[in-house]
Structure 1
């Protein structure tokens, strides 16, 4: 019996999974470690329609995983689920990419001030107001994107600038990538899958994961 399924999702769907607290960061995941060049490279890949790799999740609520705390994640607070009944999807591989996408595109996080500079034709880190730049979070905010278009109309090269902005908007809003969902897996299955995955960041080894999977049990023993 196949233990996984693969489906294509767009970025808006990814953000919905995060905001609905369906997509969960387990406690064994390491903190965000990407440098600025990694973030810009990811944005360039999306703009050009290149693959950014598969996101891998474990579906269900395994007793040996614990959710991360708000302080250790760049994603929404997972500790208060507000009674939502969605199945949990535990992030096994792809956290660096997910964190980058959420904080760069979905929310206006000043620690991820990534913009596209139309005069330079490249992505940049910039906190300055610049008429040649559009903040990437504006691509997923109708209000902000319309404001950029309206302000662009006041410029001599308005038609060209708006066309470029629309192309960038479409590239990100239409972009799709694969998410691999594992299900009906026991402890050995999880360990084997985890060891076989390759990611852009520094991979955890099997001992890291074993320790994390025993985290709940160990914490209870120490308290007792």
Structure 2
């Protein structure tokens, strides 16, 4: 799923709401994934024709749609997908930008039975060395680099425990599977109806967000009628 987003094959339509999740919602998503809890399915729309879409997901620019290949548009799951993509694929060079802190989530190692949250944002300060950066989970080179960080702060049994915990977290995230519901075909009007109904149970769409979806639909249908 992450690779398809990176290639531009999975996109977010312009009529979707922007990213609105708060930091605690982002960290809670990873806590659920590590615990093996369901996080809901993604609803992907596969229309016959290409539609306008956002040029970035999770703060990361994505390339144009790959020519000749099917393109899927996210009707439900933008907040979850953006959180996963933005945090797991965030490049190290992007961490200096003003809003990059949002995508810097870490898994705190060594908490054992503590009731403290396992996943945290670092904020403007540098994260402690026992905080596993999620951007290193999918990259073997970065994960090995983090292992070297751990060897600089721990020895013996403590080091083994931290390494084992980091490996376990990495595998739980990489092996997690998200159910996908595919909507094949249909018009932009039907797609925006599906989007509006799916999102009515969560954070309510604002008047502006609903207007954006309807304006997009009206514009698309007018263009099709005039053609």
TM range, smaller chain: 0.7 to 0.9
CA–CA separation in structure 1 for the residues paired with 2:130 and 2:221: 54
CA–CA separation in structure 2 for the residues paired with 1:118 and 1:21: 34
Q: Tell me if 1:183 matches 2:170.
A: no
Residue of structure 1 equivalent to 2:82: 99
TM-score (norm 1): 0.78
Q: Could you say what secondary structure the match of 1:87 adopts?
A: coil
Contact 2:58 2:85 in 1 (8 A): no
Residue of structure 1 equivalent to 2:142: 144
CA–CA separation in structure 1 for the residues paired with 2:80 and 2:189: 26
Taking the TM superposition and a 5 Å limit, the aligned residue runs for 1:70-109 are 70=56, 74-78=59-63, 80-81=64-65, 84-108=67-91, 109=94
> Alpha carbon RMSD of aligned pairs, Å?
2.9
1:10-47, Cα deviation, whole Å (9 max, x unpaired):
xxxx1111111111211111211111001011010111
Question: Which gives a bigger RCO, structure 1 or 2 (Cα 8 Å, sep 6+)?
Answer: 1
Count of matched residue positions in the alignment of Structure 1 and Structure 2: 204
Q: Tell me if 1:118 matches 2:109.
A: yes
Q: Could you say what secondary structure the match of 1:210 adopts?
A: helix
Residue of structure 2 equivalent to 1:60: 47
Q: Tell me if 1:211 matches 2:215.
A: yes
The CA deviation at 1:96 is 0.8
Residue of structure 1 equivalent to 2:28: 41
Q: Could you say what secondary structure the match of 2:179 adopts?
A: strand
Quickly say closer, same or farther: Cα 1:42–1:186, change in 2 above 3 A: same
Residue of structure 1 equivalent to 2:204: 202
Structure 2: 5+ residue stretches without partners? 113-117
Residue of structure 2 equivalent to 1:20: 7
Residue of structure 2 equivalent to 1:10: none
Contact 2:19 2:79 in 1 (8 A): yes
CA–CA separation in structure 2 for the residues paired with 1:75 and 1:217: 30
The CA deviation at 1:153 is 3.2
The CA deviation at 1:144 is 1.1
CA–CA separation in structure 2 for the residues paired with 1:216 and 1:159: 58
